[in-house]
Each structure stands twice: as C-alpha cells, then as structure tokens.
Amino acid sequence: MMRKLKDDVLLCLIYLAAFFAEFLLIGILVYVFVKGFPHISLHFLTTVTSVLEGTVGIAGNIVNTIYMVVLTLVIAVPVGIGSAIYLNEYARPGKIVRLIEFTTQTLSGIPSIIFGLFGMVFFGVTLGLGYSILTGALTLSLMVLPLITRNTQEALKTVPESYTSGAIGMGAGKWYVIRTILLPSAMPGIVTGIILAVGRILGESAALLFTAGSGYFLPRSLGGWFHKMVESGGTLTIQLYLSMEKAQYDTAFAIAVVLLGMVLGMNLLTRFFIRKIETAKFTDAGGE
C-alpha cells in the first residue's frame, strides 16, 4: 500500500516536471511570436536598414546567415566526416586515437568566445582575413567540427560488422566498402550531426562578433556576391544582439521570430530527409 502511494506521488511529480518544462518552452515561443510577428513585413524581410529613410530591414543579415551556414558546412562537413572515417576505420586504435577523441570532446566544451578570440587573432590578423564572413566561417568550423566528427563516428560504429565482412569477403576494398555501405548506413547519424551544427551556427553570437563583424548591406553587383565572403557580415543573431543593445526591442523580437522559423523549417526538412533515407533502405524502395 505504502509502495503504491509512493509510486503515485513520484509519477505526479514527474508529470508536473514534464508539464512545467513543456509549458515554459511553449510559453517562450508564444511570447516571442506575439511580440515579434507584428513587426515582420515584406519590407522588413527584403530591404536593408536605411538610416536616410529611417527604415529597418534584415535582408542583408538573412543573406549573411545563409552564407555563414553554407560556408561553415562546406569547410566543416568534409573535414569532420573525413576525420571520423580516419579515426574509426584507418587509425590503429590506441593512445593517439584516444588523445584525439579526448581533445575533440574537450573542444566542444570550450566557451565560444574563446573561439572568437582565437579566430580573430589567427584567421583575422595572422592570416590577414580581417573581419569577414570567411573568418567567421573558419572559426565556426572549428566549433562545430567535434559535433560532426562525433556524430559520424557514433553512426559508423552502429553499422553491423557483418555488412563489412560480407563486402570484404567479395573482394571489395576498404574505401569501396566505406563509400557504398558504411557511409550510406550511417547517413541518418551524419545528418543529425549536421543539423546540430547548423543550430549552433544560427545561434552563435560571441564567436562571430569578433570575427565576422556586423555588416548588413547587400552586394550591389554580381562580383559583389563573391566578394561578400571576405567582407564583414553580421548574421541574424548578431543583428538581434546589436538591436537589443540599442534597445530596439521590436526589431529584436521580429528577428527572433525569423530565426525560430528558420530552425523549425530546418528541423522539419531534415526529419523529412532522414525518413526518406530510412524508407529507401528498410522498406519498399519505390514500386515494383
């Protein structure tokens, strides 16, 4: 009897905690949405802030954000997946591998502002890239590398040994097996790592303030779209931070809504992709 009561009380507490967490989350989302949505307009989304006309727009920041995400991923995804493959499949297990794994894990715990400091000094000054989207992307690459490497490693580890021996037993070489069996089987895990990385890129402010700066203009010519990479450019999160600093809360909340929309959209998209991959692999692969 006592035990039953104890169980019930515990269950109640668990429900309460879950409800509280959920409620908090939804509460924040609703609050941000209500405060920000009214200030979003087509004009706000498609123009850049003009001091002369006294209008506010975030088109430049949206473009910067896309640049930052794409450029960082272009650098970090191949390197991250490559090092995961190396660590799991080629390196001899031992001290060095464990040291590298330990370092990567530690790397992911370092406050982002330290990455910003390093990026500014090393990429910005030593390599002479200055305040630019490229400097920011290189810095962020260092930050998200552990996420991608780790997730890829874990995903590779879950691929059954029997697949590999089956393929090797038919004469396939190591790299061929990695390409045709291991990587496709590990794809959902790899995609998860990439999503987490994008999340970090979208949310990052401290590391970017020092490295990518806060430019918010749109390129004027075709060449400008290329040159943009070596120009200063603030992402949406940077702009949000700056707006808050200047007490422009309407703009800040509006940007927050846009950011939330991006994150939500990305999650839905990737979930869709992962489901597609899984379906292709484990059930009917499209008709007979």
Partner 1 sequence: MPQSKISTEKLNLYYGAKHALKDITIRIRSNMVTALIGPSGCGKSTFLKSLNRMNELTDGARTEGKVYLDGEDIYGSGMDVTRLRKRVGMVFQQPNPFPMTIYDNIAYGPKVHGVRNKEKLDGIVERSLRQAAIWEEVENQLNRTAMGLSGGQKQRLCIARALAVEPEVLLMDEPTSALDPVSTLKVEELIGQLKGKYTIVIVTHNMQQAARVSDDTAFFLMGEMVEFDTTARLFVHPADRRTQEYITGKFG
Chain residues binding partner 1 by CB under 8 A are 160, 162-163, 165-173, 176, 180-181, 184-185, 281-288
Question: Smallest distance from the beta carbon of 280 to partner 1, in angstroms?
Answer: 8
Query: What is the residue type of 103?
Result: T
Smaller CB separation from partner 1, 184 or 219: 184
Over its C-alpha atoms, the chain yields an Rg (Å, rounded) of 23
- Stated as kind and residue range, the H or E segment containing 57 is strand 55-58
Query: What is the residue type of 247?
Result: A
Smaller CB separation from partner 1, 54 or 282: 282
> At 16, phi and psi to the nearest 5?
-60, -45
- Other residues' Cβ atoms within 10 Å of the Cβ of residue 153: 23
Smaller CB separation from partner 1, 272 or 282: 282
Angle at 191 between CA 22 and CA 117, to 5 degrees: 80
Question: Smallest distance from the beta carbon of 96 to partner 1, in angstroms?
Answer: 16
Smaller CB separation from partner 1, 37 or 86: 86
Question: Smallest distance from the beta carbon of 84 to partner 1, in angstroms?
Answer: 19
Smaller CB separation from partner 1, 22 or 278: 278
Residue 75: partners with Cβ closer than 8 Å, 6 or more residues away: 137, 138, 141
Question: Smallest distance from the beta carbon of 82 to partner 1, in angstroms?
Answer: 23
Question: Smallest distance from the beta carbon of 93 to partner 1, in angstroms?
Answer: 9
